[in-house]
């Protein structure tokens, strides 16, 4: 736990050294949102569904129109039937054939219903796509702001744990010299334990937020020659826009 905690602390501080505020935060939000729009496979699937809905709507619109088919044909007939050589040498033609087929539906309610159904399906898919984009954007903004606060809390918890560790060490020395009681030393040790637990909790909070940001930006599972996989780095390293790491 200590080793993982140290690596988490170093990872968080290295990749997110100075939590940006104001314009810097807005720029980072925009970059992460753009990363999510490019990496999220569920968004890409919805985009393709929306595009297929548009195609179906266009096809239904075409079906409303009247049909006008034009057919052209050419043929020739053999005159000699006594032998194969006569059949191949004597021909009549060529003859031509032109035909038209016009179809004008009356009412055409079936095609109109199909068009309305296709348009409704297309709009439903567009709404689903926009809703997912909205939820991804909100999640990135919310967790990015939470990460800034969590890193501040982590720094405070680290400092508090360090101070209590030094206090406990000093209390042990005083106990050896007989300048304090066992009860006071025990109470100091309890405070040190509580500060250590608070430090672990702060590290877990940072790790959770980073993992959520990784997921929301589509960078939780990293791609390599062996395929997609989740590593400790992908769970603890802050997602960097434009970098698959």
SS (H, E, C) 133-144: HHHHHHHHHHHH
Count the helices and strands in the chain (H runs, E runs).
7, 4
Residue 66 is classified by DSSP as: P
Residues in the chain: 245
Question: Cα separations (Å) of 107 from 20, 66, 91, 102, 115?
Answer: 63, 12, 49, 16, 14
> pTM, whole model, 2 decimals?
0.64
Q: What is the DSSP string of 80-121?
A: --SSHHHHHH-EEEEEEEEEEEEE--SS-HHHHHHHHHHHHH
Q: What is the structure's pLDDT at 241?
A: 65
- Nearest alpha-carbon partner for 204 in 179, 176, 236: 236
The predicted pLDDT at position 1 comes to: 28
What's residue 15's pLDDT? 39
Burial class (CB in 10 A: 0-12, 13-18, 19+), 57: buried
* pLDDT confidence of residue 155: 86
End-to-end CA distance of the chain: 23
3-state secondary structure of 78: strand
Instruction: List residues bridging with 75 in a β-sheet.
Output: 95
Taking only the tens of pLDDT, the chain with its 245 residues reads 233 444 434 344 433 334 444 445 556 778 888 888 888 888 888 889 888 888 888 888 887 777 777 787 776 666 655 555 555 566 666 777 788 777 777 777 777 888 888 888 889 988 988 998 899 989 888 888 888 888 888 889 989 989 888 888 888 888 888 887 888 888 888 888 998 899 888 888 888 888 888 888 887 777 766 767 776 666 667 776 665 54
Cβ atoms of residues 75 and 97 within 8 Å: yes
């Amino acid at each position: 736990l200590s080793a993982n905690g140290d690596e988490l602390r170093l990872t968080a501080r290295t990749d997110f050294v100075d939590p940006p505020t104001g314009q810097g935060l807005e720029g980072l939000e925009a970059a992460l949102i753009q990363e999510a729009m490019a990496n999220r496979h569920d968004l890409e699937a919805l985009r393709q569904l929306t595009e297929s809905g548009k195609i179906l709507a266009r096809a239904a619109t075409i079906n409303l129109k009247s049909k006008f088919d034009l057919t052209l044909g050419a043929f020739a007939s053999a005159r000699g039937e006594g032998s194969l050589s006569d059949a191949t040498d004597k021909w009549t033609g060529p003859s031509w054939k032109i035909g038209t087929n016009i179809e004008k539906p009356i009412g055409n309610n079936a095609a109109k219903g199909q068009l309305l159904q296709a348009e409704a399906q297309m709009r439903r898919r567009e709404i689903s796509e926009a809703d997912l984009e909205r939820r991804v954007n909100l999640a990135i903004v919310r967790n990015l702001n939470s990460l800034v606060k969590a890193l501040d809390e982590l720094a405070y918890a680290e400092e508090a744990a360090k101070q209590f560790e030094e206090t406990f060490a000093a209390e042990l020395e005083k106990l050896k010299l007989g300048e304090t009681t066992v009860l006071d030393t025990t109470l100091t040790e309890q405070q040190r334990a509580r500060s250590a637990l608070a430090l672990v909790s702060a590290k877990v909070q940072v790790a959770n937020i980073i993992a959520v940001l990784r997921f929301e930006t589509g960078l939780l599972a990293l791609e390599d020659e062996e395929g997609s996989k989740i590593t400790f780095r992908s769970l603890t390293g802050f997602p960097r826009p434009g970098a698959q790491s």
